[in-house]
């Protein structure tokens, strides 16, 4: 392996804005099945910064003003979109009834909007 003078980069980790910790945890952890990797507050009562993971998808959620833009859209590649939707059906959400858009550009897609207005598009690429 040749040394590089540019350094090596890793996968990007999107930062999404959240406004309500309880609702964010309910949506991402309880409903979508993400696991909390770590969380940080500078002091009790200060805004929360949270890193979550589901398989290879890593997201940061932040209550800090200026972190992320509410209403952002994330495109998340997924293998087994039917199995993903079936998994979600075991943990129904009171405000969501997702389905699969089989005509979506890129492949069959399950689109969900989190409590802060961010859109997650779980897409199974069919090339």
Give the CATH number, domain containing residue 48: 3.10.180.10
pTM over 0.75: yes
User: Is position 29 within any domain?
Assistant: yes
Find the domain containing 73 and state its range: 15-123
pLDDT of residue 91: 87
Q: What proportion of the chain, given as a percentage, has pLDDT over 90?
A: 77
User: Is position 3 within any domain?
Assistant: no
User: Is position 81 within any domain?
Assistant: yes
Counted domains in the chain: 1
User: Is position 117 within any domain?
Assistant: yes
User: Which segment of 4-8, 79-83, 98-102, 113-117 scores lowest on mean pLDDT?
Assistant: 4-8
User: Is position 105 within any domain?
Assistant: yes
pLDDT of residue 93: 87
Residue 6 has pLDDT above 60, yes or no: yes
Among residues 22, 26, 23, 14, which one has the least CA distance to residue 59? 14
For the stretch 14-73, pLDDT in tens is 999 999 999 999 999 999 999 999 999 999 999 999 999 999 999 999 999 999 988 899
Predicted confidence band of residue 119 (pLDDT cuts 50, 70, 90):
very high
- Dist. CA 6–CA 28, nearest whole Å: 35
pLDDT of residue 63: 96
- 81-88 mean pLDDT: 95
User: Is position 7 within any domain?
Assistant: no
Describe the strand order of the beta sheet including 57-62 as a list of residue ranges.
Answer: 15-17, 57-62, 49-54, 35-40
pLDDT of residue 117: 96
């Amino acid at each position: 392996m040749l040394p590089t003078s540019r350094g090596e980069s890793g996968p990007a980790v999107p930062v999404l804005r959240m406004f309500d910790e309880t609702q964010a945890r309910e949506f991402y952890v309880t409903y979508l099945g993400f696991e909390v990797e770590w969380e940080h507050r500078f002091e009790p009562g200060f805004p929360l910064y949270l890193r979550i993971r589901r398989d290879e998808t890593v997201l940061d959620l932040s209550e800090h003003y200026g972190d992320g833009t509410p209403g952002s859209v994330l495109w998340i590649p997924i293998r087994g979109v039917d199995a993903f939707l079936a998994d979600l059906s075991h943990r129904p959400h009171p405000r969501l009834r997702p389905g699969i858009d089989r005509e979506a550009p890129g492949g069959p897609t399950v689109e969900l909007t989190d409590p802060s207005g961010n859109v997650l598009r779980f897409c199974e690429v069919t090339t």
